[in-house]
Amino acid sequence: MAKAQFSQSFIFYVPLAKVQAMLMDFTNIDKYHPLVVKSEELPSDTSQFGSTRRRFEITDITYMGPIRLKFKYLATSTLDTNGQIYTEAFQSLNVHLISQYILTQNGDETSLIENCEIQAPAIFQRYVRNQAKTAHFEMLSKMKAYLESTETLAAH
């Protein structure tokens, strides 16, 4: 297994609680994540932090050249005791993604830092990293736009 990682950051002009709630709930992730076509919530369990770990069955569609692949996998989200969010995706072909989201409120801004660690077979490692980084950037950009537009509407 090869490991890879990436980090990215965003500034949201909404309260931290709204960003946190959206990152924890994968129910509508198909509206934001470019590869996800379906999400179904499964019974929750307890995380290693002692908090509730939400569990979802995710269906992705991805392309490897001209080949269209459809995958179902388990994804989880949990909040640790420091208010950081951890999400995991247990995908086929031994691919495992762990994202840590660090959120900080500063006045009207919420800063988000995503640190994503990827474990994948060496042959897929670069492809998975590039695809995950691109997809997560698009997902967070769409979440930011949605949250900020609803915050602006609520203010008027």
Sorted by where each starts, the structural domains of the chain and their CATH numbers stand as 2-155 (3.30.530.20)
pTM: 0.93
- With CA atoms as reference, report the closest residue to 96 among 123, 68, 118: 118
Mean per-residue pLDDT over the chain, rounded:
94
**Percent of the chain beyond pLDDT 70?**
97
Question: b/e for 67-80, b at 16 or more Cβ within 10 A?
Answer: eeeeeebebbbbbe
Distances (CA, A) of 113 to 51, 86, 116: 21, 12, 10
pLDDT digits (tens, 9 = 90+) for 43-99: 999 988 889 999 999 999 988 789 998 999 999 999 998 999 999 999 988 999 999
pLDDT digits (tens, 9 = 90+) for 19-30: 999 999 999 999
- In the prediction, which pLDDT does 151 show? 74
**For residues 4 and 128, is the Cβ–Cβ distance under 8 A?**
yes
DSSP annotation of 26 reads -
Question: Confidence band (pLDDT; 50, 70, 90) for 155?
Answer: low
- In the prediction, which pLDDT does 156 show? 45
Rounded Cα gap, residues 77 and 147, in angstroms? 19
- In the prediction, which pLDDT does 154 show? 62
- SS3 state at 70: strand
Mean pLDDT of the region 1-17: 96
Q: How many CB atoms lie within 10 A of CB 139?
A: 19
